[in-house]
Chain A
């Protein structure tokens, strides 16, 4: 008797091994979910105030709505596009709230910083309209390029001044890696939704949706995002004196992004690292950050007050008690305190996860 191919295959891959593989896969899958959930709800030492959680959710929803729309439009007018349309508007937002584990730590981390910057911006006294914001700064500088860059930054921040309803699209002007992650998240949710709700075979949906998503990604230009624009402004500031003046103005206007970008430039760290220090760092680190930017006492107080909404760890009156300590801090000591945060990002991340030194 000759063994058939199936028999041989069965002997080579007995049921017990297949079961083992299944269990291993499930464990791995479960672990990834657990990890993502952990990252979503508790990124190390991060605090989530109600305001910050709500704003992050608004940015996630808005960006996801925009990306879903872009993918749908990219697909053109065919049966699959019409089926996607039949899923209903903002399908991805609803779907992701049912499966938050699909969100990567990278995406959540960035949206949290973006939401924090938006919240702090909104607490600036007077909340100036975009026209009045662009005017004075552009008029103040004789450097045409700087004026243009500041105006571009203001324009990209403008939508953040108003609270965003979760059912509206928001410009997904994210850094490249984050944007890609968001687009592929939306694409996966659409493929899954088409299969579950419309009975569309994933083999038919994946190529079309994949192509559309890739086209959306190819059109993306991170240079137009507020993070990149803030970094660019910091980069073209002519000298330290001009950087100090812009930092002072940014502190008073609660422009966390520009402040972080200028500080990051000075301390040779990424803007994300600088934001993490401001949002999640302890009082000493925030004071050090302000001191290397030569912020005056009242600018420092303005910064602390602005950050209150995302930290919510001290009343405003107590925040002002920190100013005398700030007065005693020298720029040299401040730079020394920040030096350990200017290493390679991955190293700092790992050390923070080991609880070795929290921001």
Chain B
């Protein structure tokens, strides 16, 4: 770390109430990096803890600590001695910080785990890399799968990865992984029987109780043609680089700060701390709307991540669609009232029981009714009705909006497509997610509409026959 010379003794004093009273520059620099200053409470966590212990016990403490510096961890030998009304600190930086092991993020392992969750056929090999299990369930394979006992190298021809400009790439990840009994991913491999077929292999090592490598289990997925194999309208979000682990981290990293932005912007626009100029109030309201929009997008991405997992399933329970429609309408009543839009929910006593997952149906209905409210003109009406036939129960959401051109009826169910392009409202994922959820529950969402005639969305689900 800059300005922290090795072997020099750095000194400082801390008062009885924990404030840094004097400090040599390197110590002050640590304090500043941690958000404190001279005269404020010592905020370098590991030092502050030892200062408290020494002060409380009245005893000299001398031990090594690791302090998080701006760029890297610093290993210090710390001596803290109680003096009068405070403590005296002496620090010595001991050795080159490069020798300190940092917790490394194992990106290869993360990528391998991510690849395991993607589509493709599964394989398992023993320590000699001979196939032991091959499973193509749930994926389309138009060539012969390996025989049990066949060596992996006899079935596949491993291909060097081409490094991208300036980015070092492990040319044979499988061999590197096997050599270190580590996970691997992104190993390109050709079928020896048909070299036009290229796969990307990812694998995780398996160990016995004694920690010995027993083999690998992994996924083989077609290399570079993921989009071609997807059903229309269901292209992967981001091509091959879509990574559910990354999406999950993004979700956690964004939701909290966005929530704070919304809360603060609301409190400013609500003038909770006193009157403000009207243009500032309007800016704050804009910020709140934009942040809420981003928050919805994060929610949608989280849902997208969940439903795109190969093992995604929805619970099957008995639900009353009429009851759920009333609840969803109730949730949107205030938003509708802002535009003087009336929502006509199913009447008391109406019932339409289906087999589906309660919260997922509610989510779909909020999306459908929310869209209806969003695209309806002021002073209009949204109808929510339930119906059932012998096999299916349904909810119909109809509005008096501008309607949808029949040519766009399928487009609006694709990712990032909106009912009205460039309207800036919503993430463009709502209908896509709703339809995927409906299908996961054995149902469907369809639309009937024409320009100028309003829209009629229908959610159908298997009827409960109890």
Residues of A within 8 A of B (CB): 175-177, 179-180, 214, 217-218, 220-223, 228, 231-232, 235-240, 266, 268, 284, 325, 328-330, 332-333, 337
Contacts and interface: CB of A to CB of B under 8 A. Distances in A.
Contacts of B381: none
Contacts of B180: 330, 332
B277 interface: no
Given A231-B63, A232-B64, A328-B212, A218 B58 contact: yes
B94 A239 contact: no
A176 B59 contact: yes
Contacts of A175: 63
Interface in B174-191: 180-182
B53 interface: yes
A351 B293 CA distance: 41
B275 interface: no
* Nearest 10 Cβ contacts at the A-B interface: A223-B62, A176-B59, A180-B57, A221-B60, A176-B61, A235-B94, A217-B59, A235-B64, A333-B211, A220-B59
B441 interface: no
8 contacts: A176-B60, A177-B57, A222-B59, A232-B77, A237-B95, A268-B101, A330-B181, A332-B181
Dominant SS among interface residues on chain B:
mixed
B94 A236 contact: yes
Contact of B58 (A217, A231, A232, A238): A217
Contact of B63 (A179, A222, A329): A222
A239 B66 CA distance: 17
A222 B60 contact: yes
B42 interface: no
A330 B82 CA distance: 46
Contacts of B207: 333
A221 B62 contact: yes
Contacts of B95: 235-238
Interface in B188-209: 207
Interface string B85-104: 00000000011000101000
A329 B212 CA distance: 8
A235 B59 contact: no
B384 interface: no
B218 to A, nearest CB: 19
Contacts of B82: 218
Interface in B52-75: 53-54, 57-64, 66, 75
B217 interface: no
B79 interface: yes
Given A231-B64, A240-B99, A284-B211, A176 B181 contact: no
B97 to A, nearest CB: 12
A240 B96 CA distance: 12
Contacts of A217: 57-59
Given A325-B210, A332-B180, A176 B99 contact: no
B94 to A, nearest CB: 5
Contact of B59 (A180, A236, A237, A330): A180
Nearest to A240: B99
The residue among A176, A221, A222, A332 with the most chain B CB atoms within 10 A of its own CB is: A176
Contacts of B63: 175, 222, 228, 231
Given A180-B57, A235-B77, A337-B211, 6 more contacts: A177-B57, A217-B57, A218-B60, A223-B79, A268-B66, A332-B180
Nearest to B94: A235
- Among B54, B60, B182, max chain A CB count under 10 A is at B60
Interface residues of B, number: 26
A284 B64 contact: no
Given A176-B53, A240-B99, A330-B180, A235 B61 contact: no
Nearest to A231: B64
Contacts of B66: 268
A235 B75 contact: yes
A246 B375 CA distance: 75
A232 B76 CA distance: 10
Nearest to A266: B101
B46 to A, nearest CB: 12
B211 A177 contact: no
Contacts of A332: 180-182
Contacts of A238: 95
Nearest to B210: A325
A175 to B, nearest CB: 8
Contacts of A329: 211
B104 to A, nearest CB: 11
Contacts of B101: 266, 268
Contacts of A220: 59-60
Interface in B119-153: none
A238 B94 CA distance: 9
B106 to A, nearest CB: 10
B243 to A, nearest CB: 23
Nearest to A328: B212
A177 B62 CA distance: 12
A239 B64 contact: no
A180 B58 CA distance: 9
Contacts of B79: 223
B389 to A, nearest CB: 54
A266 to B, nearest CB: 7
A330 B207 CA distance: 13
A217 B54 CA distance: 11
A177 B53 contact: yes
A223 B53 contact: no
Contacts of A222: 59-63
A218 B211 contact: no
B99 A223 contact: no
A217 B59 CA distance: 6
Given A223-B62, A330-B180, A176 B210 contact: no
Contacts of A179: 59
Interface string B228-251: 000000000000000000000000
Contacts of B181: 330, 332-333
A203 B61 CA distance: 31
A214 B58 contact: yes
A209 to B, nearest CB: 15
A218 B60 CA distance: 7
A239 B99 contact: yes
Nearest to B75: A235
